[in-house]
Structure 1
Amino acid sequence: MRTRTSAWLIEVRPAELTFGEGRESFAAAAELARVCGWEFAVVGEWLPHTMMTLD
């Protein structure tokens, strides 16, 4: 996602999949984002009406 001031790499998963095995891949993605000068976030839950816009 791009904003006026930054770029973000956002990992979107169901909340129950944001713990355990995913932590290692999140760390790798966060490092990649840092190297590129981006921000990184993990999103585990969206409001119901936003789910239809994810592709």
Structure 2
Amino acid sequence: MITENKQEIDPSVDFLVITRPYARNFDMTEVRKNLLHALTLAHVIEKIPDEDEIEES
């Protein structure tokens, strides 16, 4: 999931992902979508891939 967007992430940036208890019910598509959203909000990556790009990977 992170490896697919590795080229967009500054190698000098460290980040920690903390999930909420309800996330244990997410499937991998939801996990990826939420993680990409969080990385975008944190300005770690510039944009969230389109839905088609998410489904293809």
Structure 1-normalised TM-score?
Answer: 0.31
Structure 2-normalised TM-score?
Answer: 0.30
Bigger proportion of residues as helix: 2
